[in-house]
Chains A and B, each alone.
Chain A
């Protein structure tokens, strides 16, 4: 196992340094199609603030947002918060504060400063995984905003459909693949991953367009509201 593949241990003891945070966060962001901003002084300033917050509040909460005391809400602002705002950040090409930017952004300077929600209703291609991270003939669950989506790889093709079986809301991503057919793990309802159709009447599930670019799997959705 190379250093790149080794799972990072999340230890935030007293004395955590900027280098520790970088080493820990970088691989997580990379898996979702993000990298640290190219403005390295800005990155260090944000991470320094996070260390201050870690020492005061016990975790690396986003320096740009406030804890409300609601544990569920507060969990969504622990850095990196990318998974909670996949559609919003894909549209903005950065996380709220600009600490992370999309991998293909050459210069992140212009993305610093502005915090604006993407307009809801616009369509955006959301990076959900690297192709190399999804084994052939397997499925995984991805949450984009409020949507539960099953991302399914068949050979070198990838499809995206609603994760919820129309029968009893079984998690399709935990089902079995038979060619292009995804079989619900609960009662065996069968869905064609290419178009979401099933042999039960009026029970097709929604599908989402998928493209693969530079090894990234991108799912197209309309942007929902962040708050």
Chain B
């Protein structure tokens, strides 16, 4: 098989080829390793997808297991033993964890080989990957545009063919939105179905790991080996049944609900057009499409930007310079920290970027004495209302469909000066995060020559239903992502 042919294979196809003996795991790994290493070596001239790439000779032993040694790119924030795990932050620069995240270990046990760590927004806070201490990631569809975030490195790497597939995390849209902006598939599973142990936390009650892949079948295959209860994560749950590889070709009788709150105002016309075309395609496949109401969804973003920063302000307290990571013991002028508070202050001043500081301050304020009920308490009540909205909608329809992001990939620097405009990127994805339900983004067309994402969401643990619907639509839409490959 030629190197080009190898790169044409989806991850599932590659695993099959390895199992059939027509492709060696080492050959596949080397091909991707070379491409990833070239991007890393190119620095700002490349896409800057990676913060670490496996070295020469890192070629895995011929791997057993269902994943057959297919290389995997892993978002920087997953702890990988002895491999830099920095969560896109200066404060963790060069940090080598003494243990590997449960989900990564699970995938390695199933035969995945660690290819690279991917760039991301610092501590997963961002929607453009412009908040990384290790530089912006560029969108392979247009180098002057963002790949989305926070799993921007993972999405760009898969879209560009620098990795067969990748792990990301989604807190308010951090898998789905970059998948949409890069024209690939991204799935956020039901909260609790994938262990969070070893994921450097952003917001504990929202964070969830998921696959970023070229197609829906790959997403199913990777997810199949990710889910499962973990004794190290008290919030993890046993997935009922198994994730199955999707086979549906039709959507006969499937009831798709379109929430008017997430499919109208604030969405770019080109995105809406591609979205409506996809709905028409769904109808042609036999789906019944109806309008539904999520009356509290417009408040989701406000609630999210209280809850997530509140949890983050506490989760990020451990970065104090005492045990690991950066310790700013002296000023740039060489003046020693005068006391403990000074060391804390300098470490966190130097180590965290502006967006992280902004959210720590927001969260600290929201939790402070006298404000807790007005902010955190109220946000939690909104969260409950949103969950109730979804519950009642899922009594009427099987799945909900919306655009994934309100716009196609925007230009680098376009929204960095306006945090609120940046936060609006998560408008369609945050409600599902707050409700803890699964959602997938698949590419459904182009607008201005850039990919548009379609989001499909279902009730908790409906991943198989979701994957089948996404698969049927994907087959019929025939989106071609090959042009993004470098």
- Please determine whether chains A and B interact with each other in the same assembly: no
Where the two chains meet, the residues of B that have a C-beta atom closer than 8 Å to any C-beta of A are none
